[in-house]
Amino acid sequence: MRRLFYTAVLGGLFISGASAKTIYNGDKIDSVPVITKLDVNDLANGKTYRFMFKGADMNIGQSWYVPLIVVKGAHQGPKLLLNTGIHGDELNGSKAVQTIMSNLDPKQLSGTVVGVLQASPNSLSHITRVWHIANDGGYTEDMNRLFPGKENGNAAQVQAYKLFNNLYLGNADMAIDLHTQSTDTAYPLFIYADYRLPAIQHLAELIPAD
């Protein structure tokens, strides 16, 4: 049993559908532009971008924000999504994605890599795997069970809806969702992968799972 592990969920995301331009709302957080929708197709090639993605609202009317790093290669190629932080107390994936993105040279890259850091900031702030709901006296939701979410649901459902429809959809041919053990647990390294897709099978078998 390993003290640390990564679970990679690999599968084809929806590539088709109407494309929409990246939407900036005009805000900045520590000089980083805030967006409400990402479309990597309208980003210039050969550059690295940082964004703050505006998610669901808190009960006090402010918003939760998800940090993004996008490396758009100078050459055409597939789109890969690296997602982390669906569970707020699983932190190692964020460091892994930061390391990967910092070592990518957009001038040499064919394709696009989107790094999503801490998709569930509510869970991160509570250091738990679940999203804490403010209404009805307080209860929790596991956002990993809520996709594709609900546009008019509770905050966790809305967060899942915005991530799925305004961030993931159309921006990935393949996705890897990184998880680690939660507080006071230990697991081996294992992978969920859709072997009906040859590219996903190849990618999964490049990872030395136990």
Q: Tell me what the pLDDT averaged over the chain comes to.
A: 90
pLDDT in tens, 90-106: 988 999 999 999 999 99
Pick the more confident residue, 37 or 8.
Answer: 37
Is residue 72 predicted with pLDDT exceeding 60? yes
At 59 the pLDDT is 85
Which of 12-21, 50-59, 77-86 has the lowest average pLDDT? 12-21
Q: Which CATH number fits domain 7-205: 3.40.630.10, 3.40.1160.10, 3.10.520.10, 3.40.640.10?
A: 3.40.630.10
Supply the pTM of this predicted model.
0.90
Which of 10-19, 42-51, 65-74 has the lowest average pLDDT? 10-19
What average pLDDT score do residues 44-59 get?
96
Burial of residue 122 (CB within 10 Å: 0-12, 13-18, 19+) is buried
Residues 6+ apart with CB under 8 A from 177: 7, 8, 9, 83, 84, 86
